[in-house]
Amino acid sequence: MYIPTAILIGFVTGLGAFLGSLLGLGGGFLIVPMLTIFLGIPIKVAVSLSLLSILANSISASIVYIDRDVVDYRLGLLLESTTMLGAIAGANLNLMASESYIYIVFGAVLIYVAYRMVAGKKYEEHGSRGRTRRNLAIGVGVSFLAGLLSGLLGIGGGILKMPILILLLSLPTRVAIGTSLFMISITSATSTYIYFINGVINLVYAPYAVLGASAGAQLGSRLGFRIEARYLRVMFSIMLLIFSILMIGRGLGI
């Protein structure tokens, strides 16, 4: 009974990672709702599988940026110090909280992401900002929130990290992506460890989730440039809104 479900999980995580990578998003925003809504996987298990998938994908993707020497390790680790604390808090919060609250919080975050996808402007580098103490302090603080959401909801956190790196700290986009991926790998490893050690990750599902997401992300990154981004964003935004309604409804017991 487990194996067919495990294979379906591989397909769903692959689809989520594929769709997410078309827009340079981590798959978490899609993987968790798809696992819970389409396959009825308990949300805490779905979150843990999503983090596992993100871990594998972020390590794989970051290798390319490491090779090209476009990772700001100093800044990344500075921000990661609080991101990790947030991830630890988020994962433990997930373990303690009831599923209803997690569904509602996830649904609310999906609404924000859906809005950002259609209303958010393309990141522009602001030369007037930079690594002032104030900006670094803000960055460190927001990084804690990014880690908290990552550990709690099974997302990568890039949706918060990228604006910090580009808009606030004036990193060039390519360096911001590399640094963000470097950070996401550490954050997701931190949370995945907590879920793993607490027995939340289903070991039968784990290989399929990782393999499916890896294959999906690879395919998505190769095909992404061939598809008009603007239409994708609108389509995804609508999909995320539908997911958010379903997730919040589930949390409210509707």
Partner 1 sequence: MIKRIYRDIVRTLLIISISSLALGGGLLLLNIDLGTEFIEFGMWLLIATPLAPIIFVLGESLSRRDPLMLIVVLIVLGIIIANLAFYGFGSIPFLTLHPLPW
| Positions in the binding site for partner 1 (CB under 8 A) | 3, 6, 52, 55-56, 59-60, 62-63, 66-67, 69, 73-74, 77-78, 80-81, 84-85, 88, 182, 185-186, 189-190, 192-194, 196-197, 201, 203-204, 206-208, 210-211, 214
Q: Shortest distance, CB of residue 102 to partner 1, whole angstroms?
A: 21
Which residue, 116 or 131, has its beta carbon nearer to partner 1?
131
- Least distance to partner 1, CB of residue 178, Å: 11
Question: Could you tell me if 186 and 84 are in contact, meaning their C-beta atoms sit under 8 angstroms apart?
Answer: yes
Taking the complex as a whole, how short is the minimal distance between the CB of residue 88 and partner 1, in angstroms?
A: 6
Return the number of the residue (36 or 187) whose C-beta is nearest partner 1: 187
**Residue among 56 and 247 whose Cβ is closer to partner 1:** 56
* Cβ 236 to partner 1 shortest distance, Å: 27
Task: Tell me the closest approach of the beta carbon of residue 152 to partner 1, in angstroms.
Answer: 16
List all residues 6 or more positions away from 130 whose beta carbon is below 8 Å from its beta carbon: 169, 170
- Residue closer to partner 1 by CB (options 110, 194) is 194
User: Which of 87/114 has CB closer to partner 1?
Assistant: 87
Question: 């460190």: which residue's tokens?
Answer: 140
